[in-house]
Amino acid sequence: MTGRAGGPPPISEEDRDAAVLRLQEAYAEGHISHEELDARLHQALTAKTPGELASALISLPEKAGAASTIAAVSGRIRRRGAWRVPRFLKVESALGRVRLDLSRAVFEHPVVDIELHLGTGGAGITVPRDAIVDVEGLRTGWKDLRYRTRRRSRSGGPRIRISGTVGLGRLKIRHARR
């Protein structure tokens, strides 16, 4: 989903509220000063793009419990729609197929790390149009990775770092069309 004239998607009130809550927690835990809290709250409340909202949260310590693991021995792992993507996501599958559709997912963090541990099943990951994908930490076994970077990437999208191992299956990464 994009904003007017093909721009970045609008910020939802839920996203803005989550950012304000994170800033308040960082202040309560002593990670930022009162002055910095005021400046970042102003930035979060006046942000017009997801990138501006993410920059208000930059350099904050990660919340405990911001990591999540999805695992299956056999069968499918599938996530799609408007699901919340944690800062660290670990996906483990020995025999099954993995499909992660991040095109409509909710990103609370400007950088998301996805660690894959896949055996024989293949995987497909659809990322948002404006996402920046880093696959430097990924090792493939039997088949090569299929991913073409976008020629023109807009700023403000999430940075998705994919690492781990893919055994006998193939990993296909593509950008959403809209």
- Name the band, by pLDDT with cuts 50, 70 and 90, for residue 1: very low
Q: Which of these, 115, 119, 125, lies nearest to 142 by C-alpha position?
A: 119
Q: Provide mean pLDDT across the span 16-38.
A: 87
- Name the band, by pLDDT with cuts 50, 70 and 90, for residue 154: low
Strand, coil or helix: 5:
helix
DSSP 8-state code for residue 82: S
pTM score, two decimals?
0.64
CB-based contact 129:81 (threshold 8 Å): no
Domain boundaries, the chain: 6-57, 67-175
- Among 21-30, 126-135, 166-175, the minimum mean pLDDT is found in 21-30
Distance (Å, whole) CA 55 – CA 144: 34
Distance (Å, whole) CA 125 – CA 133: 11
Torsion of CA 53, 89, 78, 8, to 10 degrees: 20
Distance (Å, whole) CA 38 – CA 23: 9
Q: What is the pLDDT of residue 57?
A: 84
Q: What is the pLDDT of residue 6?
A: 55
Distance (Å, whole) CA 8 – CA 38: 26
Q: What is the pLDDT of residue 11?
A: 78
Q: Kindly report the CA angle at 148 between 58 and 48, in degrees rounded to 5?
A: 35
